[in-house]
Amino acid sequence: MNISDVAFSLQSPLSLPEDEVHLWNVDLAAVAEAEPRWKQILSEDEQARASRFHFSKDRQHFTATRALLRMILAGYVHSDPTELVFGYSHKEKPSLSSPRSDSQVEFNVSHSGAIALLAFARGRLLGVDVEQLRENFDHETIARRFFSEEEQRQLAMLEPPERYDAFFRCWTRKEAYIKAQGSGLSLPLHQFDVSLKPGDDNALLSTRPDSSEAANWSLREVQAAHGYVAALCVRGHGWRLTS
């Protein structure tokens, strides 16, 4: 589901069955300039946070993304976008505090360059990450610092020109898993391995010290715009992606 219209609105409440995960792709380059419209949907603390961004583009992107998150989430929980209340974990992961329901709607957000991805599921923790592809940077030094031995081995097996895209596939998959857990970088990056294979639907290869943890999650690549790579991690299996 793509949003690229500054006049975007929901015509009716949204349905989110427990066996579905919904992914919305926002074209920030197209919508961010409608800042006054998005701003009025934000809470006071969100508006205050927006005003602290140094660059206007960052402020506009945050404002549009947060407003669209409120609009879509309100569609799923049949509420008003301005009435939603978010809570934050000790690592700053936002979740819906009010209204609450038995089978809570979970969400996660990622932005990079000119796009944002918003992912939603009912009763399942999830994390999403998108990165704009780039080249000509010292990916080896970063990989040595952040990637596991297995991930570095996969990267080294590729031809040098292929390594940049593979680096971002690895990065987004690791981030999506971390974001699903909500524990930020307190989850040691060397304690799990992801696959670097393009399009992999089963990308969480192993977890340590508890090897059974890997089976609790589905980690896969998802499509983003041209020039971007993205990954989605969801608790459990047997769900369908609508995007």
Ligand X SMILES: CC(C)(COP(=O)(O)OP(=O)(O)OC[C@H]1O[C@@H](n2cnc3c(N)ncnc32)[C@H](O)[C@@H]1OP(=O)(O)O)[C@@H](O)C(=O)NCCC(=O)NCCS
Binding site for ligand X (CB under 6 A): 62, 65-66, 91-94, 108-111, 127, 129, 146, 171, 174-175, 178-179, 182, 184-185, 189
If one counts every other C-beta atom within 10 angstroms of the C-beta of residue 201, the result is 12
> Quick check: bond before 99 cis, omega within 30?
yes
- Distance between CA atoms of 158 and 171, rounded to whole angstroms? 16
**Residue 43 C-beta: closest distance to ligand X, Å:** 12
- Distance between CA atoms of 33 and 38, rounded to whole angstroms? 9
The three-class DSSP label of residue 113 is: coil
**Residue 49 C-beta: closest distance to ligand X, Å:** 8
Pick between residue 8 and residue 107 the one whose CB is nearest to ligand X.
107
Distance of CA 193 to the CA centre of its chain: 19
Pick between residue 94 and residue 99 the one whose CB is nearest to ligand X.
94
Pick between residue 65 and residue 195 the one whose CB is nearest to ligand X.
65
- Distance between CA atoms of 165 and 57, rounded to whole angstroms? 26
Amino acid at 24: W
**Residue 241 C-beta: closest distance to ligand X, Å:** 18
For residues 204 and 214, is the Cβ–Cβ distance under 8 A? yes
**Residue 109 C-beta: closest distance to ligand X, Å:** 4
Angle at 230 between CA 235 and CA 198, to 5 degrees: 95
> Quick check: bond before 160 cis, omega within 30?
no
**Residue 11 C-beta: closest distance to ligand X, Å:** 26
Pick between residue 13 and residue 184 the one whose CB is nearest to ligand X.
184
Pick between residue 16 and residue 110 the one whose CB is nearest to ligand X.
110
